Structure 1
């Protein structure tokens, strides 16, 4: 296994005083699913934005498959599904996927057709994306992200707004691409899915990566059975959890 994504001491400061990400480092290897988890405002999405080059890191370095993260060559190495569904709503689903295939120089449309079928969106492919539901847009973005068989797949809250069947299909596909040695980075609040899917996790709290490692090792370190409990302890939220339990117990 080799490091496909290397994040080395990256930081991001807004308005010269708001520290969004503070010296975060981690790696994602071939055939590995890495979960980036943390509370709202902890720095997950800012970290993803720096990796995907939507935002420039103030310090540190990012490499993707040995290439400088900001280079055009590096951008062709990953597929990205953002949390926000920013896709052209005046195109049809077919037009959008056809455009993405041309952009990535993909000639064989077999994978596109088969993925459209298993996600059950073939009847909508010639309708404008603007009329799609949230789940349909998410499915379309996922298909677009994997058409060129990227070395790295980056997913920000991939299961939000999906129906149960679509979540099952997503998870099966992630297992399939992991078996094909794709490196997968998932930023998520869904700790149960993270525990069942991910090989390793990084826990971000208050802009810092406070834990990083294999889930089984973190469970052992904190003497916990659930990733949720590790998350609370590593994020410094244990006292908050006790307070919440006390309030609920008095209801």
Structure 2
């Protein structure tokens, strides 16, 4: 994915003021920043959910997007969500989804309605829906909110596997202590990306 000179405003409030970014294949990249600086706006633009005022986003291959706000139907079960998304993505089977559910340890909830799930389990489903079609580019907005420590560690194993098979992963977070798990780290500040760092290992 390549991003050039992205600008976006809400009325008179300018949020993105010329964002440039290259997301290479086989990279796990993070964008950190305080709440309200425009991280979620940036991911919405990158995913196509929001049209920028100016700028260009180029990407190739399938992409997955895990928004910060979980958007699920409380009347449906976990399995029904998987079936609906499989039809939307034209995925022939649920192999990737089932593998992800095993990694995140919530396979036993397949027949539970979303209304009965905890916030952390809903987030597990949210993440599963984003990766079940095996995307080449994965955009994750605060993807581990509500996770316990074990699930948090399993999340990083999951996205590292995506990276290690040549996919591009972008994780947005306000927590700077995650940066040791990333290949590159950027800070979103004053509407632009700053302070690119190459992480060891």
Counterpart Cα distance in 2 of 1:99 and 1:19:
37
- Name the structure with the higher helix share: 1
Spell out the pairing of 1:126-205 with structure 2 (5 A cutoff).
Answer: 126-194=111-179, 196-205=180-189
Counterpart Cα distance in 1 of 2:83 and 2:162:
22
* SS of residue in 1 equivalent to 2:23: strand
Larger gyration radius, structure 1 or structure 2? 1
Counterpart Cα distance in 2 of 1:211 and 1:93:
40
Runs of 4+ residues deviating >4 angstroms: none
Counterpart Cα distance in 1 of 2:105 and 2:148:
12
Counterpart Cα distance in 2 of 1:190 and 1:39:
8
Counterpart Cα distance in 1 of 2:141 and 2:53:
22
Unmatched tracts of structure 2, length 5 or more: none
How many residues of Structure 1 are paired with residues of Structure 2 in the alignment?
Answer: 200
Query: For 2:72, which of 55, 80, 87 is the aligned residue?
Result: 87
What does residue 11 of structure 1 align with? 7
- The structure showing larger relative contact order (alpha-carbon pairs under 8 Å, at least 6 residues apart) is 2
Matched-pair contact (CA < 8 Å) for 2:29–2:184: yes
Scaled by the length of structure 2, the TM-score of the pair is 0.94
Spell out the pairing of 1:10-49 with structure 2 (5 A cutoff).
Answer: 10-15=6-11, 17-49=12-44
What does residue 58 of structure 1 align with? 53
Unmatched tracts of structure 1, length 5 or more: 66-73, 217-251
Instruction: Report the RMSD for the aligned CA atoms in angstroms.
Output: 1.5
